[in-house]
Each structure stands twice: as structure tokens, then as C-alpha cells.
Amino acid sequence: MADFVNQFWSWFIAIPTVLGILACAWLVLGNMSGKGSGSGSETTGHIWDVDLTEYNNPLPAWWLNLFLITIVWGLIYLVLYPGLGSFAGTLAWTSAERYEIEMAQAEDEYAPLFARYQKTDLALLAKDKVAMRTAERLFASYCSTCHGSDARGAVGFPNLRDGIWSWGGDPKQIKSTILDGRIGIMPGWATPLGGTQGVDDVTEYVLSLSGQEVNADQLLSGQEKFQTFCIGCHGVDGTGNPAVGAPNLTDMTWLYGGSRESIHRSIAVGRRGQMPGHQSFLGEHKVHLLAAYIVSLNP
């Protein structure tokens, strides 16, 4: 609440907040008097269905008292905690400090457990059902946003259950991917290939690598262009290269979609994907457990 570009914005928040609370108090106090219910009560003059009359009775005392309690509570809260612009509150409480305290407490409690897991080989750890229950919760917290709660991925986010790996599926390679992250870049080839026709030809050839029905008239031209521009990453036979994250084009597994349109777009304008590194955020001990969990998904 203190990171304002100037003091004006601090007052812009604080003044309306205080005025709003005072207005609520005025509204409550102004409704604490009125006529009692019954035949002698004052009416508003509104009548429906011949004899259905609206009376001007006071609000229930319990409701008014509860409203006053919330107003007093709000004022006390704003004195103790941040909420009025740059005023930090008398307790000087911050969410960042609280987060650090809770993380330190969690580290003290769970660090010995993670340290024990880290000493276990990934393949063996993947078979530890108790450890995998903990790992599953870590995955749900830190990985499911991109890879899905079932780890089957989505367009642009790889499926972690199918045993197909752009950067290698060895347990150590999986751990390295989580630790340090990966950056996959497929440059756009529309210009080098001579425009739309060249992209169309290569698209047909790439589709043929996975056994799909293609335009035979474009195959030869597409193959020639593929051998000229694409084999450096994807290999002569199109089976890819884990060293640079180049995917296998023969297995019918497509990170960005396997339709003719999706492949055409990948070739023409390229793709850029990034898996962020988690070492500084989670630490190697948690990454080790996560890597074992990914291994367990691919028995």
C-alpha cells in the first residue's frame, strides 16, 4: 500500500475510505428512531392491492447494532493494519513479511523430509507411494496451471504422461528441465521458403512423415526444402533432436496442434515456448521430488 507514485494517490484512497465509513455511521444513526409498529404507525402513503400499506417502521435494533459493530471493527482494523493509503498501520503488518515467516516455518518443518527424499534415486523415489502423495500436491500447486491437474497438458504445454519428450525423458534430464527451464524456439520460415507456396510444400511433406494423407504433387518440392532448411534441427528422417528441443515429426504428437493449418502456421511464423526454471523458487530438494513424480507418471 505504500508504493504510490506520489502522495496524492494515498489521500485519494484514504479520504474516500474514511468518508464512506462515516457516511455508513450517519445512515445507521439516522435510522435508529421512528414510529413503532401497529395501527398508530406512520405510513409512507404507498398502498397496493386495496389495503396493503407500507409502514415507516424503524429498522430492527439487532440489525442496527450489528451494523454499528462492523463500523467500529472497520475503524479499529484501519488503525492496526494497512488500508488507508500509505499509512502502514500501528502494527506495521505486511503480507510479504507474513509470507516469509510462514515459508520459514514450513522450511523448518519439512526441510528434513525433503532432504531425505533428495538422497533417494529418482527411479526408486518414483515408486514411493507416500513420497508421491506429497509430490502430487506440489505438482497441483506449481505445475497444474500449465500442464493441467492430470498432467496431460494443453496446446503449447506438453503432455507429461505420454512418454514423448522434446528435451529427453531420462530422469536426470527431466530434473534438469524443471531446475533450469527450457526455451524452445522455432523460427518462422515463410521468407526463406519463398512465401506461401514453399510453406505449403513443406507442410505437406511434414504431414507425410507421420503417415497422413497429403498432396502428392507437392511432396518432392517439400522434401527438397525440408532437406535444405529443416534437417539441422529435426534430422534427416524428421525424428527430432532432444539436444536442441526439436520435436519428432513422425509420431503424431503435436505440441501446437497437428492440423494442416496449425503445422502451416508453425512453419510460416514459428513458435516460441518457455518452461521457466524452478530452482530459485522451489529449491533443488522440491524439484527432485517433482521430477520423481513426473517419472512415476511414465512407468
Phi, psi of 187 (to 5 degrees): -70, 155
Are 103-181+277-296 and 184-275 equal in CATH topology? Answer: yes
- Look at phi and psi of residue 214 and say left if phi exceeds 0, alpha if psi is from -120 to 50, else beta: beta
User: What pLDDT was estimated at residue 37?
Assistant: 47
User: What pLDDT was estimated at residue 23?
Assistant: 94
Distance of CA 170 to the CA centre of its chain: 27
The reported pTM is 0.71
Contact by Cβ (8 Å): 64, 31: yes
Grid cell, residue 48, equals: 397496493
Phi, psi of 263 (to 5 degrees): -65, -40
How far from each other are the two terminal CA atoms of the chain, in whole angstroms?
A: 49
Contact by Cβ (8 Å): 284, 271: no
Say how far apart CA 74 and CA 69 lie, in whole Å: 8
User: What pLDDT was estimated at residue 41?
Assistant: 65
Distance of CA 229 to the CA centre of its chain: 36
Grid cell, residue 67, equals: 451494523
Say how far apart CA 186 and CA 271 lie, in whole Å: 5
Say how far apart CA 112 and CA 93 lie, in whole Å: 30
pLDDT in tens, the chain (299 residues): 457 778 888 899 999 999 999 999 998 888 776 554 444 567 777 888 888 888 877 778 888 899 999 999 999 999 999 989 888 899 999 999 999 999 899 888 888 989 999 999 999 999 999 999 999 999 999 999 999 999 999 999 999 999 999 999 999 999 999 999 999 999 999 999 999 999 999 999 999 999 999 999 999 999 999 999 999 999 999 999 999 999 999 999 999 999 999 999 999 999 999 999 999 989 999 999 999 999 999 97
User: What pLDDT was estimated at residue 38?
Assistant: 47
User: What pLDDT was estimated at residue 5?
Assistant: 76
Q: Can you list the alpha helix ranges (DSSP code H) found in 152-245?
A: 171-180, 196-209, 216-229, 231-234
Q: Enter the CATH code of domain 103-181+277-296.
A: 1.10.760.10
For cell 424503524, what's the residue? 58
Distance of CA 193 to the CA centre of its chain: 37
Grid cell, residue 83, equals: 488500508
Contact by Cβ (8 Å): 245, 182: yes
User: What pLDDT was estimated at residue 59?
Assistant: 77
Say how far apart CA 290 and CA 113 lie, in whole Å: 14
Using the 8-state DSSP alphabet, how is residue 83 labeled? -
| Residue-range domain boundaries for the chain | 7-80, 103-181+277-296, 184-275
Q: Enter the CATH code of domain 184-275.
A: 1.10.760.10
